[in-house]
Structure 1
């Protein structure tokens, strides 16, 4: 296990890839890191001006959202508009191939999100309803196939403190397309209370790990960390929902974060 220093503190850093670690262990290590991420996500709320829903997709052949997306959404909008008008609908999904025909026909703007190492058929569908009524809000629907084998982790970095405690890490997948290798970052997170710049140092090591695998570009989506990734050099490719998440900074300032898709070139120059 390597060691990285942040200020006066030293952390152990374990690096695992599909080349040296069984897939089941990668899955387990990634899940432990995700649990830290889920805990940190509790620090964020959702904007009161965005209704967030996760349509059921457990059985794709019988899911009303997947078999009749226009009808499903129309029913939800009618129910929600008993309380507030809906001015915009945004659907982010990895079932884009199934939804493309019906939602395009219904007037939704189609945004294909190309992440070569991420979930296939990732699309955003956006409908601006031109409703200017007071109190209008947006409806955001997210439907992701979590069982997609392509997004199973092929790399994991885990950060261990001096007491042997897991205190963060990063995980994602690497895949090849057209002779080039790309990466998708599923999670990069830290436990609360670590020294400033720990996240940046972890990201730098991740970049170097991916370069060693001949990765040329890294993609991700985030609701809560766009500013952090922009400081690392990522650029926004799609800004899908403005002000989706809210939080209070350490100085007491109320901040909002957009749902964005991002990328960075990491090949050696």
Structure 2
């Protein structure tokens, strides 16, 4: 722990790992950072050309997404079509690729392996273009196991003020594969009231920490912050849904893509 000055705003900076605190403390800290992240995400809308659907991943029946993915998604598409909303593209992002892949591939979906050694296993994107056109509707289906044991937080970085209010944080997991060490950044965010430069400071401290841990490559996915991460040096590995999210800044409409990113440290 130490204090830092971000644009003359005094904050306490903490780094936590499983060597420092209990797994439960790590989970609680990660939950607080994720709650802040959700508040910031609420500032972004979904573009009218995109419909987002989150299946119930606890439903393992033959009527659920995991039980029979192709039939489940066809029902979603039929529902949209009956409302006069024909689909041009379907994109599925899931950590259950091993379970739903056979059904989706048999139905004509294109499988895309998203290889993140420190991220969830069996992460895939599946795409299908029933009516290819740049102006059509995209159905985005996300089925991700956030409780995956593999991605339980191994590190927490956080910035708090003198009253203990969270101004920013980052958390994720670290794993080894093939003689190299990788990190998966589950969440990184800053509060709306955070001083200018807080996000960049947090990112730089994150990279310093990961290098100290011997990490060679870090992966993440984002719907709203691709431009920020690219400025830091991340490269787009997969661009899954262009223009998915929307926000207005200075009277100008800005659209953000759903992308998967990677950076070598």
TM-score range, shorter chain: over 0.9
Distance in 2 between the 1:46 and 1:238 partners?
20
Aligned positions of 1:32-43 closer than 5 A? 32-43=32-43
Aligned partner of 1:182 in structure 2 is: 182
The aligned counterpart of 1:252 is 251
Report the Cα distance in structure 2 between the residues aligned to 1:23 and 1:147, rounded to whole angstroms: 13
C-alpha contact 1:246 1:256 (8 A) present in aligned 2? yes
Q: Following the alignment from structure 1 to structure 2, what is the Cα–Cα distance between the partners of residues 100 and 164?
A: 45
Distance in 2 (CA, whole Å) between partners of 1:45 and 1:124 is 22
Distance 1:260 1:63 in 2: 29
Q: How much does 1:3 deviate?
A: 2.0
Q: Which runs of 5+ in 2 are unaligned?
A: none
TM-score, normalised relative to structure 1:
0.94
Cα deviation, residue 132, structure 1: 4.6
Q: CA deviation at 1:252?
A: 1.6
What does 1:217-236 align with in structure 2 at a 5 Å threshold?
217-236=217-236
Measured in 2, the distance between the counterparts of 1:138 and 1:150 equals 31
Secondary structure of 2:216's counterpart equals strand
Query: Paired residues, what number?
Result: 264
Deviation per CA, 1:197-246: give whole Å up to 9, x if none: 11001100011111111111100000000000001000000000011100
**Structure 1, unaligned runs of 5 or more:** none
**Matched residue of 1:215: which SS?**
coil
What is the alpha-carbon distance in structure 1 between the residues aligned to residue 88 and residue 115 of structure 2?
Answer: 27
- Where does structure 1 differ by over 2 angstroms across 4 or more consecutive aligned residues? 59-63, 130-133
Deviation at 1:60, TM superposition (A): 3.4
Once the two structures are superposed, the pairs formed by residues 1-269 of structure 1 within 5 Å of their partners are 1-60=1-60, 64-82=64-82, 83-132=84-133, 136-249=136-249, 251-266=250-265
SS at match of 1:228: helix
1:168 CA drift (Å): 1.4
CA contact (8 A) 1:158 1:169 kept: yes
| Cα-to-partner distance string for 1:117-164 (whole Å, 9 max, x where unaligned) | 00100000000123559x730100000112210111010011012333
Give 1:62 shift. Answer: 5.6
Please give the root-mean-square deviation of Cα atoms over the aligned residues, in Å. Answer: 1.4
Indicate if the aligned counterparts of 1:85 and 1:131 stay in contact, CA closer than 8 A.
no
1:107 Cα deviation from its structure 2 partner = 1.2
User: 3-state SS of the aligned residue for 1:205?
Assistant: helix
Bigger shift: residues 118-127 or 76-85: 76-85
Question: Is the contact made by 1:57 and 1:63 (CA closer than 8 Å) also made in structure 2?
Answer: no
**Residues in 2 aligned to 1:213 and 1:19: alpha-carbon distance in whole angstroms:** 12
**Does structure 1 retain, via aligned residues, the 8 Å contact 2:62–2:68?**
no
**C-alpha deviations, 1:36-78, integer Å up to 9, x for none?**
1111111000010011100111143666211111111111111
